[in-house]
Amino acid sequence: MEPTLDIGQRVLVNRLSHRLGSTPQVGDVVVFHPPRGADEELCGDRNSGNGTRRPCSRAVPHEDSQTFIKRVVAVGGETIAIVDGHAVRNGRRASEPFAERCGGGSACGFPKAIRVPRGYVFLMGDNRGESDDSRYWGPVPVSWVIGRAFATYWPPKRIGRL
């Protein structure tokens, strides 16, 4: 999540509103359980058959016990593609001033859009060229989201709102 968060930085997470039915929104930084095996590339549909890469469109069915933190870039019912490391949601490039430049690697371009299923979110790290995220393991069920990160408390010099 660099540059938004540094490695080792600690965050406060609002778990209560999520448990009371609040759903993640585009732009939220959320803590969640990733799919089992999220440290690997899990998706087999990265090539659409004509050489055009697309993000992973199918969800991995098994939840892991680890916790990750990423940003919501699309919610259920929306389409998502990645161009130059930026989310293109419903055909429009999102304004993402927080995102680190992608650097031109293979993670930077998945121009063929997929539709995020209802009840799921598509998550990406802010360090787009170095993040393992939904591009590689698909949308994540909203039920796997623990809550929205809203502030940092450690280290003291980085205390503040997200």
Nearest-angstrom CA–CA distance, 60 and 46: 14
Give the pLDDT confidence of 12-58 residue by residue, as tens digits: 999 998 778 889 999 999 999 998 877 666 665 444 444 556 677 77
Find, among 105, 96, 107, 104, the residue nearest to 54 by Cα. 107
pTM for this structure? 0.88
Give the pLDDT confidence of 91-132 residue by residue, as tens digits: 999 999 999 888 776 668 888 999 999 999 999 999 988 888
Nearest-angstrom CA–CA distance, 69 and 38: 13
Domains in the chain, ordered, with CATH?
10-161 (2.10.109.10)
Query: Residue 42: what pLDDT?
Result: 61
